[in-house]
Chains A and B, each alone.
Chain A
Amino acid sequence: MTAAALFSERSSSLRRGALTLVVAALLYEALARSGYFPQALTPTLGAIAHTLFASLADGTMILHAAATLYRVLIGFGFAVAIGLPLGVLIARLRPVENFVLPLMSALMPIPSLAWVPVFILWFGLGNTVSVLIVFYAALFPMLLNTWSGVRAVNPIWLRAAGAMGANEHALFWKVIVPGASPFIIAGLRQSFLRAWIAVIGAEMLAGSDWGLGWVIFDAKEFLDADVMLASLIVIGLIGFATERLVFGSLERATIYRWGMARSGRV
């Protein structure tokens, strides 16, 4: 296929994609205006946009988003700080693996949010619960991916480095870490995705006064569907931005640069 043909096909795909979104938006608008459902349940797009801009302008939405991001980053940070070294340890040391893996396979099938009621009893309502839930949700993908990444490092590389006289330290930093990096980055990505889901759920169940999950759940009481949809948009945008900007550029800066283009996808 020539470049021009490829380009024209791309642009027509783009046009059709945009058309879909416009049609979907128009259908929704028609439904909202038809009065078939109460206005409170299906607000018009204009009302949603108005709510979104108003809450952004007076700063409430930004504060909610900041509270959610704070919780997610702390929990995710702990999960990485523990999951990454532990993942390397279980891959390198058999006794640690024998001890951690059975526990992990028993804990992993429990959805993180199932712990919310227990954690509320133990720690009370508030940030601790959300942060712990995020930690629980993000830990396992991190651990599992690091573990398989370190194990998947090509043994030939290890032997070659050993033959060239690399010591343990150099072996770890120059061979194992770059070799495992596609898996580790996939792990970071999956962990963040899980963390982002968990924080919304935790905020709904263990709501404090701030947070995007709490706003959505609280808006239900007042039948504020426009607030809910506006917060949904913010949640989606933040998730999308981290996925594309943060992890996309992380991937480009590390594994593509090192020539290990095996990127993991969820």
Chain B
Amino acid sequence: MLNPARIGHRYPTYRYEVSREKIREYALATGVEDPRIAADTGDLVAPPTFAACFTVMRAGAALLDDPELGATPRLLHSAQEYDFFRPVRSGDVLDCTPWIVDVSSRARIERLVLQVDCVDADSGEPVVTGRTTLVFLPPPDGEGGA
């Protein structure tokens, strides 16, 4: 069972440096056709979903490592939102803080909404906010479970 007392809990801030080659790798993996991606020089603007590289997994790991939350690895990604205050560019250094927005359950399926606030490490100005909805599946029959 997920612990609803963890709603509002903030995990430690981590830092992510946006590199040009990582943007290029991600863009090519998702079918981006943009001449700037093919060029060898010049700053790149990250595709919107590139934000997954510094939000989904890193913040998800914080959840699974939290002994007070009670999250299990049997989970599915059920929704994702990104709001951009400005585009993400190569050379950006971002400070990212995950926190739990909501925990709820219905019919043995538990749902958690995790937000990651990403700010420019130099200016402190917001850059992008990610909101991930995860669904935790019940254990298979016979494995108990609370």
Task: Tell whether A and B belong to one assembly.
Answer: no
